[in-house]
Amino acid sequence: MRISTKGRYGLAVMVCLAERNGENQTAVDISKRLDVSKIYLEQVLSLLKGAGLVQSVKGSQGGYFLDTAPSAITVYEVLKATENGLFEKTEAAAGEGSTLSVDKSLNKLVWDGLEASVATALKGVTLQDIVDDIKRGGYMFYI
């Protein structure tokens, strides 16, 4: 699976907001923490705000903050807000004039199950899960 830059940045932004939940964080602060372009980050924040995942306050004391608790926001919701094509239905494999039942079988046995499995996996991870893992130090790899 390939997640676009918007999706990856969207998750990273949401984790940053979740780590300091309850605090207003400016786009400048977040872009410095993530070492990404502020302009691109603002586009991602706009998508997250449009999806109702993030709120903003204008002014000198303004910034962005999560609309709900990190434990109530799943990775699925974040990617759905930032990834245009990730959750679109799979296009037909056979042409419109085909008399074969290829598409029905592919949908039934492959695509529908795959989409359901991906959605289930993404819905099973919340921002709080990610923050908790960060606090534990992530994973250790020994060579």
Model confidence pLDDT, tens digit, residues 109-133: 888 888 889 889 999 999 999 999 9
What was the pLDDT predicted at 30? 95
Q: With 90 as the cut, is the pLDDT of residue 96 above it?
A: no
Look up the CATH architecture of domain 5-135: Orthogonal Bundle (1.10)
| Greater pLDDT, 30 or 94 | 30
104 vs 22: CA distance, rounded Å: 48
What residues have CB less than 8 Å from 131, skipping those under 6 apart? 15, 18, 19, 70
What was the pLDDT predicted at 100? 62
Q: What does the domain layout of the chain look like in residue ranges?
A: 5-135
What was the pLDDT predicted at 1? 67
What was the pLDDT predicted at 140? 53
pLDDT digits (tens, 9 = 90+) for 47-86: 999 999 999 999 887 899 999 999 999 999 999 999 977 7
Kindly report whether the global pTM for this prediction surpasses the value 0.85: no
Mean pLDDT, the chain, rounded, equals 87
Q: With 80 as the cut, is the pLDDT of residue 142 above it?
A: no
Closest CA to 34 of 13, 20, 19, 55: 13
Report residue 20 as tokens: 């300091």
Share of the chain above pLDDT 70, in %: 85
Q: With 70 as the cut, is the pLDDT of residue 95 above it?
A: no
